[in-house]
Amino acid sequence: MMLGRRQPAVLIAALTAGALVLTACGGGGNNPANNLQGKVNANDINVKPASELKDGGDFRWPVSELSTQFNYSHINGTLADSARIMEALIPSMFKADAQGVLSENKDYVESAKLTSTDPQIIEYKLNPKAVWQNGTQLSWKDFDAQFKARSGANKAFVTSSTTGYEDIEKVEKGATEQDVKVTMKKKFGDWRTLFAMLYPASTNTDPKVFNDGWKEKPLDSAGPFKFDSVDRGAKILTLVPNDKWWGEKPKLSKIIYRQISVDSQAQAFAANDIDFIDIGPSVSTFQQVVPVQGAVVRKALAPDFRHITFNGAKGSILEDSKVRLAIQKAVDRTTIAKSQVGAIIPDAKPLNNHIYVEGLKDYKDQAQLVAFNKDQAAKELDELGWKLEGATRKKDGKELVIRDVIPTAVETSANEAKQVQQMLAAIGVKVDIQTVPSELFFKEYVYKNNFDITHFAWIGTPTPTSSKGSIYRLDPVAVNQNYGRIGNDTINKLMTDANAELDDVKRAELANKADEEIWKTGHSLLLYQRPNAIGIKSNIANYGAFGFADYEYEKIGFVK
């Protein structure tokens, strides 16, 4: 998914002041009026050549949660903070540029191409220099093991998504151990996203190791950095340069990931305890960062977005799609967008497509079904039998009360929840805001369907038709990332057909048809595209607002 963007199979869920993002060139600046106009298909990372950077230095990286699952392929491993650690260690065959265009990652592949379209065959020629930590070369066996672990065939592997892998028929050895032949049983249009975050065969063959082996620490590396230490008491994890790395030598001596609650990160940045802060959609954080001496704010347009997930599971108070849609019409998304991020992006407006974001050429505004109209919302709830009795609606003696579960210390979620609470109160829908510990938010609430509505950010990808399948397809058994359990066969088929379409134009048409159907179900209410705004020390190069691009960890450094 790029920084987290090169991963195709799933999106990354993030609960930080606004989540996390990525890629490419530029100067930056701390002018509060600085907006994202002109930033489309660009990034702002203070690009500098290695010759202008110091050798060494500790890069202090804040995380909202120090992961307890470093296997990105596991259902609990897709948090943004976890991905930002593992992307420094784990190979991906392609990488994205500022336009979101994927190209071969030459550190890992000499070539990767389609050699047949019917059947679809992909052949990889691996870089013979690419090795795991024990010196073992990357080989076709790593590809084969990851395919089998993530295909869904063996339910013992608790995988985050089977997208793409379930369409593979077989993985074979080519002329050498470093020649990989992948034959698809179904066509997969976003094939370049396969084997992003490639884990070693040694940890992908045993379900117990797959599910539990990566919980305490990263077990292996074939990236520019390697795991050094973790101190759970101090809540610090450290990476150091990988002595087996064959690519461009990293400039940093260490990357130090430090767990700091989201509401304390701005203070830590101002006190010079960390080197950057992901501002995201937090206006108060933005205002605290702007005056910090020696700091700049770097911005780019990125595929990340805030949303409200609705719980439509059987027995939920929002099980009826008509109730969900009526309620969504009572939420003024324009007001939320402008109030939440207007100080950062003066032209802030709602996001109106579940598949594509603004900045991608296939984006279409398709949100007319939930256009703000509180009178219509009230009328529809009346027709559904939810009649106003006093301040709250009731049906068959039951109050229409929605439990909005949000994490502690995330100002953005709190602000959004309060606004939604006020807006829905105007039509007689009561919202109880339940604030839960951030470290339990995903594990005990989101993943377990323990909410009526909830707010967090998705970190997007430049290949959204495949990456979003795990969110919008409804599987009768596996949850994947459809945490609200909402969907239907029409959406499943459109997403599956889009994934199988090798023609870019036709794939986009199918994906946009799927988006139309997703709106009809009341699956989730999109709020706004999340600003990729990073407060960072001005002497740091090759890091900042990455936009649609991938991180290049070995290039991060301090200017001489």
pLDDT bracket for residue 32 (50, 70, 90): very low
Give pLDDT, residue 460: 80
Q: Check pLDDT > 50 for residue 464.
A: yes
Q: Check pLDDT > 70 for residue 225.
A: yes
| Nearest-angstrom CA–CA distance, 162 and 151 | 5
| Nearest-angstrom CA–CA distance, 109 and 92 | 9
- C-alpha angle 8-13-19 in degrees, rounded to nearest 5: 110
Tokens of 339: 């109030």
Q: Check pLDDT > 70 for residue 29.
A: no
Torsion sign over Cα 25, 27, 31, 37: negative
pLDDT digits (tens, 9 = 90+) for 499-510: 889 998 999 999
pLDDT digits (tens, 9 = 90+) for 115-153: 999 999 999 999 999 999 999 999 999 999 999 999 999
pLDDT bracket for residue 374 (50, 70, 90): very high
Tokens of 502: 């090798």
Give pLDDT, residue 14: 55
Say which range, 17-21, 182-186, 214-218, 328-332, has the weakest mean pLDDT: 17-21
Q: Maximum distance among all alpha carbons in the chain?
A: 76
Give pLDDT, residue 303: 85
| Nearest-angstrom CA–CA distance, 153 and 8 | 19
Give pLDDT, residue 13: 56
Give pLDDT, residue 4: 36
Q: What is the mean pLDDT of the chain?
A: 90
Give pLDDT, residue 409: 83
Residue from 535, 534, 539, 536 nearest 53 by CA: 539
Coil vs helix vs strand at 324 = helix
Cβ atoms of 70 and 86 within 8 Å: the answer is: yes
* 186-204 mean pLDDT: 94
| Nearest-angstrom CA–CA distance, 305 and 153 | 32
* 9-15 mean pLDDT: 49
Give pLDDT, residue 24: 18
Give pLDDT, residue 36: 44
- Between 23 and 244, residue with greater pLDDT: 244
- Beta strands of 108-188 (E only): which ranges? 109-117, 120-126, 168-173, 179-184
| Nearest-angstrom CA–CA distance, 205 and 551 | 29
pLDDT digits (tens, 9 = 90+) for 92-104: 999 988 878 899 9
Burial of 361 (0-12, 13-18, 19+ CB in 10 A): exposed
* 444-473 mean pLDDT: 90
Give pLDDT, residue 12: 53
pLDDT digits (tens, 9 = 90+) for 393-440: 999 999 999 999 999 988 889 999 999 999 999 999 999 999 999 889
Domains defined along the chain, listed by start? 1-303+537-560 (3.40.190.10), 305-529 (3.10.105.10)
